[in-house]
């Protein structure tokens, strides 16, 4: 490693390694990709390597000076244990293989900035050797977490079991919370030292720009105004799609047109059933499995119906769309915590089945009301969408060494 350290303000090449374990869904990869893109746009001497376990990483575009390494996949079983996705290896062997790939990639790339997504040790401690090597050569190591992780009690148990606090205290220089404290203080009550508490930075949410791809790139959009119903990765989104379809089935006059994106991980049997129901609605609903340029679909929508995962929430705020959030509550209450706080701030409308019921007309009424619903921009919250600017400033040295927690 040559030159001055990242964040010192010196002119030099910066190499950033972003890790996301990605055993399920799209959230971690999409967040890492957004941050990496912002870093190289802010600094022409920066390059970024994303190390990810996402099985569909290759279906995304990456900008110049950003690339990725795909780790062998693992999947979570119904009993909570993990197994290899494709290779005939037990989970301990798989973790060893993944750890060796990560360590080799970091050693050859010689990153001087590491941004670790959510898991301080990585998946089942697969980052242990990499963290030790990075710390020995003086790399700056940052833990990046979304605005909400889970209920405090559940998170305390999980982090104690994983030894997460020990990893943070030993290896990490800062913690970036990609949100605002008005929504959640995700690390409250976890037992961080005062030294690390002082190094918790609330960045604001990660702004997403509307896509400027030509019309022929990606999914062909409906000719008429539409709302977008999106489940994110889709592995746990069947209930939301069913609720939207029931609304259109129960109310023949419901509009506008609905464009439903199932997500790449939705079960094939669910997709088949939903496709048949969509076909029976006489052109009032369109459905597709996946589009890597979801931002383009969202930018042109009149409103959004979603489960309220982190990335979708950022896109709703960034593109200033009236939104209905129907959060899941298992296996984590993350989406419910986020949606409840966002509704209290006036940013979205939440439909929570335990409060509002799950009737078809409940969803139909909410969809019809989207046209009169306030946009997020009508709520003035300083720093709401400052995440990428804050991160770029901390990497390039334009920000102070440390900011007080909550600022």
Q: In 120-216, where do the E strands start and end?
A: 140-146, 174-178, 200-202
Statement to judge: residues 192 and 278 lie in one domain: no
Whether 136 is covered by a domain: the verdict is yes
Backbone Cα Rg of the chain: 21
Q: Mark whether 235 and 196 lie in a shared domain.
A: no
3-state secondary structure 89-139: CCHHHHHHHHHHHHHHHHHHHCCCEEEEECCCCCHHHCCHHHHHHHHHCCC
User: Do 363 and 391 belong to one domain?
Assistant: no
How confident is the model at residue 406, as a pLDDT?
A: 44
d(CA 170, CA 131): 10
Helix residue ranges, H only, 251-386: 268-279, 294-299, 310-318, 334-345, 353-356, 360-369
Peptide bond into 256 cis (omega under 30): yes
The pLDDT assigned to 212 comes to 47
Could you tell me how many residues make up the chain? 407
Helix (H) / strand (E) element for 46: namely strand 46-52
Burial class, 223, CB count within 10 angstroms (exposed 0-12 / middle 13-18 / buried 19+): exposed
CATH number, domain of 180, equals: 3.40.50.2000
Say yes or no: 111 and 242 in one domain.
no
Q: What is the bridge-based pairing of β-strands 226-230 and 303-306?
A: parallel
Alpha-carbon span 235 to 54, nearest angstrom:
13
Judgement on whether residues 155 and 41 belong to the same structural domain of the protein? yes
Domain count, the chain: 2
Per-residue pLDDT of the chain (407 residues; tens, 9 = 90+): 333 444 444 457 899 999 988 765 567 888 899 999 999 999 999 999 999 988 777 777 889 999 999 999 888 777 778 889 889 999 999 999 999 999 999 999 999 999 999 999 999 999 999 999 999 999 999 999 999 999 899 999 999 999 999 999 999 999 999 999 999 999 999 999 999 999 999 999 999 876 544 444 455 678 899 999 999 888 889 999 999 999 999 999 999 999 999 988 899 999 999 999 999 999 999 999 887 778 889 999 999 999 999 989 999 999 999 999 999 888 889 999 999 999 999 999 999 999 999 999 999 999 999 999 999 999 999 999 999 999 999 998 866 655 444 44
User: If we measure between CA atoms, which residue out of 399, 392, 405, 400 comes closest to residue 115?
Assistant: 392
Give the separation between CA 50 and CA 31, rounded to whole angstroms: 11
Q: Any idea of the CA torsion for 76, 341, 339, 302, to the nearest 10 degrees?
A: -140
Does residue 210 sit in helix, strand or coil? coil
Say if residue 230 is exposed, middle or buried (CB neighbours under 10 Å; 0-12, 13-18, 19+). buried
How much is the pLDDT for 272?
Answer: 96
Distance in angstroms (rounded) separating the CA atoms of residues 129 and 52: 17
- Residue 6: inside a domain, yes or no? no
Are residues 19 and 159 located together in one domain of the fold? yes
Nearest alpha-carbon partner for 62 in 79, 39, 43? 39
Angle at the Cα of 158 from the Cα atoms of 115 and 309, rounded to 5 degrees: 60
**pLDDT for 159:** 95
32 and 171 both lie in a single domain: yes
Residue 20 φ/ψ, nearest 5 degrees? -140, 125
Do 175 and 306 share a structural domain? no
Task: Please report whether residue 153 resides in a domain.
Answer: yes
By residue range, what is the domain housing residue 359?
Answer: 226-378
- Provide the phi-psi class of 65: left if phi over 0, else alpha when psi is between -120 and 50, else beta: left
Per-residue pLDDT at 405: 41
Q: Which two tokens stand for residue 350?
A: 């939440």
301 within a domain of the structure (yes/no): yes
Q: Is residue 251 part of a domain?
A: yes
Query: Do 46 and 175 belong together in one domain?
Result: yes
């Amino acid at each position: 490693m040559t030159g001055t350290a990242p964040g010192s303000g010196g002119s030099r090449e910066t190499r950033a390694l972003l890790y996301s374990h990605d055993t399920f869904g799209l959230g971690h990869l999409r967040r890492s990709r957004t941050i990496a893109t912002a870093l190289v746009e802010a600094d022409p001497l920066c390059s970024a390597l994303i190390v990810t376990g996402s099985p569909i990483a290759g279906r995304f575009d990456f900008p110049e000076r950003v690339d990725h390494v795909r780790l062998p996949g693992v999947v979570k079983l119904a009993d909570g244990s993990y197994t290899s996705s494709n290779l005939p290896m037990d989970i301990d062997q798989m973790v060893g293989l993944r750890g060796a790939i990560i360590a080799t990639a970091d050693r050859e790339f010689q990153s001087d900035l590491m941004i670790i997504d959510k898991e301080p040790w990585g998946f089942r401690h697969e980052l242990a050797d990499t963290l030790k090597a990075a710390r020995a050569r003086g790399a700056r190591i940052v833990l990046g977490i979304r605005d909400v992780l889970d209920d405090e009690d559940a998170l305390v148990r999980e982090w104690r079991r994983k030894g997460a606090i020990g990893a943070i205290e030993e290896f990490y220089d800062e913690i970036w919370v990609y949100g605002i404290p008005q929504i959640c203080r995700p690390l409250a009550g976890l037992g961080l030292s005062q030294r690390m508490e002082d190094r918790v930075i609330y960045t604001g949410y990660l702004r997403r720009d509307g896509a400027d791809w030509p019309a022929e790139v990606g999914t062909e959009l409906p000719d008429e105004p539409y709302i977008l119903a999106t489940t994110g990765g889709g592995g746990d989104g069947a209930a939301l799609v069913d609720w939207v379809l029931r609304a259109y089935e129960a109310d023949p006059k419901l509009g506008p047109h609905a464009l439903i994106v199932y997500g790449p991980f939705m079960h094939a049997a669910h997709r088949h059933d939903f496709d048949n129901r969509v076909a029976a609605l006489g052109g009032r609903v369109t459905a597709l499995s996946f589009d890597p340029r979801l931002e383009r679909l969202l930018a042109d929508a009149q409103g959004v119906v979603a489960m309220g995962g982190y990335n979708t929430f950022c896109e709703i705020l960034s593109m200033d769309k009236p939104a209905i959030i129907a959060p899941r509550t298992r296996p984590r209450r993350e989406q419910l915590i986020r949606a409840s706080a966002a509704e209290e701030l006036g940013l979205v409308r939440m439909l929570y089945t335990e409060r509002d019921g799950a009737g078809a007309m409940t969803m139909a009424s909410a969809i019809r009301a989207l046209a009169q619903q306030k946009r997020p921009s009508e709520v003035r919250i300083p720093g709401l969408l400052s995440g990428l600017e804050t991160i770029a400033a901390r990497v390039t040295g334009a920000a102070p060494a440390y900011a007080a927690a909550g600022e």
